[in-house]
Structures are given as C-alpha cells and as structure tokens.
Amino acid sequence: MIDNEVYDLNTMNMDFYLKCPYCNKGKFYSYDGSKGKGSSLCNICRNIVLWDFDKREAYKATTRKYVS
C-alpha cells in the first residue's frame, strides 16, 4: 500500500452508481463490477448506508457495533 498514491477516477471503468436511500444525493460509484455488499456513511447526510452491489440497491442501515 502506497500512502501517497492517488487514483484518477476518471480513468477508471465505472459501471454503475448507487444513490443514498436517505437523501438521494450521496452516491456510491462502482468500478470494474463490485460484488457483495458494503456499508459506509453517506458523504452528504452522514447516515449509514448498506450498499448491495449484486442487486444494485442501497438500503438504510444501523450502525455496526464494535466488537473487541
């Protein structure tokens, strides 16, 4: 992992994007066929979103508890 490496997303192959189910403004972009699911904070409204890349849907989600 190189800390200073910056990817130019414009040069990558975007295949679809998902919209935040809360605000409809935040977007998650998929490159080269993302699979499975992922969760992240919406960068606009800061709610937790579960992104389902297989179904290409986004769902409202609750915060995951940290386990030690």
Q: Which residues bind Zn ion (CB under 5 A)?
A: 20, 22-23, 26, 42, 44-45
SS3 breakdown of the chain: % helix, strand, coil, rounded to 5?
5, 35, 60
Which of 12/41 has CB closer to Zn ion? 41
Say how far apart CA 2 and CA 13 lie, in whole Å: 21
Which of 26/34 has CB closer to Zn ion? 26
Which of 23/50 has CB closer to Zn ion? 23
Say how far apart CA 26 and CA 5 lie, in whole Å: 24
Find the shortest distance in angstroms from Cβ 47 to Zn ion. Answer: 5
